[in-house]
Amino acid sequence: MSIAALIFDFDGTIADTEEAHRQAFNAAFLEHSLFWNWSQGRYGELLGVSGGKERILAYVDGLAASPEEKARLAGIAPLVHRTKTRIFAELVESGGVPLRPGIARLLREARGAGVRLAIASTTTATNVEALLAAALTMESRGWFDVIACGDIVPAKKPAPDIYHLALASLDLPPESCVAFEDSAKGLAAARAAGLPTVVTPTIWTAGDDFDGALAVLPSLGDPDVPLDVVSQRVAGGPFVGLAELAKLVNGRSGRAAA
């Protein structure tokens, strides 16, 4: 079966954004006179919670504070998150968050081949549009038929809701698409929606369980940043393009049929 669409997670998948997010959270806390500081270790733990507002609420819930103070902090969480989103966009616009290897190449290849593009992410559309404009072109928002983001579905990953929405918007069956993720909860969401999924972990998710993935690779690779020898055996070449994806998908289909 030919591939009709590629559906990308955003944070960690299109770009390794998590360190910029961590810095933006800490800066937002200071703006709101909240003297919290999320270390890399603490932020890594909080990544188990999907969504920025939800991470703040989870952190508040674990504080040694009175019920009244926790209620106050929970009440200002949406405002703190909006501040964090603004700061993150400023970091992105400064060019501090590059795309991961292979992303720009694969996006351009897909566009040239008429393969549709979509994003299915728990981040905000503002974050997506800011990074695409800074790392690609101002017009790159228009490359994507669907940008499904944020709070527009009832449940976030690992629930499959955001992928169901993307597939419905594309009007395509899941078996004709390939998803790209970087975490176990993202993989669970994509697989629950029936999508074959390529996983490219980051330092934040390298210890996750990726059972059921179509392939697990350090990145998608590029001609000037090729995959290592072991990963090339998995990918079928020094980098992942549409031909390699088709072989991976059809290979899995063949094994399933057998």
* 115-151: pLDDT as tens digits: 999 999 988 888 888 888 888 888 888 999 999 987 7
Q: How far is CA 221 from the centre of its chain?
A: 17
Please give the structure tokens belonging to residue 83: 């501040």
Q: How far apart are the first and last CA of the chain?
A: 16
* 3-state percent breakdown (helix, strand, coil) of the chain, nearest 5: 50, 10, 40
Other beta carbons less than 10 A from residue 219's beta carbon? 19
Given this model, what pLDDT does residue 255 score? 53
Q: What's 5-16+99-257's CATH class?
A: alpha beta
Predicted local confidence at residue 128, as pLDDT: 87
For 74-114, the pLDDT digits (tens) are: 999 999 999 998 998 888 888 888 899 999 999 999 999 99
Catalytic residue IDs: 9, 11
Give the tokens for residue 145: 């038929």
Residues of the chain with CATH 3.40.50.1000: 5-16+99-257
* From the candidate CATH numbers 3.30.70.270, 1.10.150.240, 3.30.300.30, 3.40.50.1220, the one assigned to the domain spanning 18-93: 1.10.150.240
User: How far apart are alpha carbons 114 and 103 in whole angstroms?
Assistant: 16
Q: Which residue has the higher pLDDT, 9 or 131?
A: 9
The mean-pLDDT minimum among 48-52, 213-217, 229-233 falls in 48-52
In the chain, where does the domain assigned CATH 1.10.150.240 lie?
A: 18-93
Distance CA 76, CA 57 (A): 10
